Structure 1
Amino acid sequence: MNGAATRAIDSPTPGLHDEWGLVAALRLGDEAAFLALVKRYHGAMVRIARMYLRSDATAEDAVQEAWLGVLKGIDDFEGRASVKSWIFRITAYCAKGRSVREGRFVPLSSLEEDGDDGPAVAPERFQPEGARYANNWSQPPQPWADERLAAVETAALARAEIERLPVRQRTVMTLRDVEGLDSDEVCAILGISEGNQRVLLHRARSKVRAALEQHLEKGGRP
Structure 2
Amino acid sequence: MVRAGSAERARGGRFREVLPADEVLVAGLRSGDEATFVSLLDAWSGSMIRLARGFVSTDASAEEVVQDTWLAVIRGIDGFRGTASLRTWVYRILVNTAKKRGVKEKRTVPWTSVDPDGGPTVDPSRFRGADEGFPGHWREFPEPWVLDGELRQVVGRALDDLPERQRVVVVLRDVEGRTSEEVCAMLEISPANQRVLLHRGRAAVRACLETYFATSGGTA
- SS of 1:20's partner is coil
Q: 1:213 to 1:96 in 2, by over 3 A?
A: closer
Look up the match of 1:18: 18
> 1:9-88 residue pairs with structure 2 within 5 A?
18-20=18-20, 23=25, 26=29, 29-31=32-34, 33-46=36-49, 48-49=51-52, 56=58, 62-74=65-77, 81-88=84-91
Determine the C-alpha separation between the residues in 1 that align with 2:20 and 2:162. 33
TM-score, structure 1 as length reference = 0.62
Residue of structure 1 in register with 2:126 after alignment: none
Whole-Å Cα distance in 1 between the matches of residues 205 and 164 of structure 2? 14
Deviation at 1:214, TM superposition (A): 1.9
Query: Alpha-carbon deviation of 1:193?
Result: 1.1
Equivalent-residue separation in structure 2 for 1:51 and 1:195 (angstroms): 20
Aligned residue number for residue 197 of structure 2: 200
1:213 deviates by: 1.7
Aligned equivalents of 2:104 and 2:146: distance in 1?
Answer: 44
Gaps of 5+ in 2: 11-15, 124-137
Instruction: Tell me how far apart the structure 1 counterparts of residues 101 and 149 of structure 2 sit (CA, whole Å).
Output: 38
1:120 and 1:202 in contact (8 A); partners too: yes
Q: Does 1:119 align with 2:117?
A: no
CA deviation digits over 1:12-46, x for unaligned, max 9? xx999732289366555344553453354335435
CA contact 2:68–2:97 (8 Å) conserved in 1: yes
* Residue 151 of structure 1: how far off its partner (Å): 3.4
What TM-score, normalized to structure 2? Answer: 0.62
- Residues in 1 aligned to 2:102 and 2:168: alpha-carbon distance in whole angstroms: 17
Number of residue pairs the alignment of both structures matches: 191
Quick one: which amino acid aligns to residue 206 of structure 1?
A: A
Query: C-alpha separation between the residues in 1 aligned to 2:64 and 2:78?
Result: 23
- 1:176-217 CA-to-partner distances (Å, cap 9, x unmatched) read 111111111111111111111101101111111121122222
Alignment root-mean-square deviation, CA: 4.3
Deviating more after overlay: 198-207 vs 25-34? 25-34
Q: Which has the larger radius of gyration?
A: 1
1:219 paired to 2:217: yes
Q: Deviations over 1:82-101 (max 9, x none)?
A: 54333212222444567899
